[in-house]
Homo-oligomer: A and B are copies of this chain.
Amino acid sequence: MRIAIVGGTGKEGQGLALGWARAGQEVLIGSRVLERALRAAESVNAAVAGTAATGMLNRDAATAGEIVVLTVPYDAHAGTLQDIREAVRGKILVDVTVPVDPEKPRRLRVPPGGSATEEAQALLGPETRVVAAFQNISYTHLAHGEAAACDVLVCGDDADARREAITLAGLLGLRGLDGGPARNARVVEGLTVLLMEINRRYKVKGAGIRITGLPNATADERK
């Protein structure tokens, strides 16, 4: 699969790029600044033998990608979506954005559209299918390729798009779970803020969540 990561030079984007590159996928890393995209792609290629990650401008990455993943700070969310609007038409956009206030990143912010995901869907229109995913996965887990005990909750209004995102999670060695409609992205995005709060309070770096009580219960749950 050719996966474009728009805004892919940040920590989360780089972590995802490394994970998918390790899984043998073709990764296109987008940035507003070509230099930075090229540098990020270079570092992925240096870390994972035999990959050919490519750096390009955001819009070019979105055009070339078969599936487009968006990892930008919330303040760049609407602007970036405008930029790639035509490029993602007919595709699936996986939105990883968490609507936090850059001044107070641990303060939960509920955006005007309810969630970043719902805002993206409204902005891109029905021809692009938006799903929320990967907000809760600490980039340190992604970067180090650890078998993190975290689930990926996937929300969006299109069932096929949710299935695709669940597949993308599987490529990273993570369990993706169908969390239903886009509206539920409010919870999934908000969870990231709660996990940051827990990281701070319990002095850890990669708190995550796992859904318990499912049929493929882990040994730990059953005890």
Contacts and interface: CB of A to CB of B under 8 A. Distances in A.
A151 B107 CA distance: 22
B201 A207 contact: no
Interface in A206-223: 206-215, 217-221, 223
A179 B194 contact: yes
22 contacts: A106-B180, A107-B183, A108-B183, A108-B186, A108-B187, A148-B213, A149-B213, A149-B220, A149-B221, A177-B202, A179-B198, A184-B193, A184-B194, A186-B190, A187-B194, A195-B211, A203-B215, A206-B213, A207-B212, A207-B213, A208-B212, A208-B213
A100 to B, nearest CB: 13
Of A114, A191, A217, the most chain B CB neighbours within 10 A belong to A191
A15 B102 CA distance: 41
A71 interface: no
The A contact surface, by secondary structure, is mixed
B187 A202 contact: no
A149 B213 CA distance: 8
Contacts of A221: 149, 220
Nearest to A155: B194
Contacts of A147: 223
Interface of A: 106-108, 110, 114, 138, 147-150, 153, 177-180, 183-184, 186-188, 190-191, 193-195, 197-198, 201-215, 217-221, 223
A109 to B, nearest CB: 10
Nearest to A150: B212
Contacts of A183: 107-108
Contacts of A211: 195, 198, 207-210
B184 A108 contact: yes
A177 B198 contact: yes
B218 A207 contact: no
A200 to B, nearest CB: 8
A114 B186 CA distance: 12
A6 B180 CA distance: 32
Contact of A110 (B186, B195, B214): B186
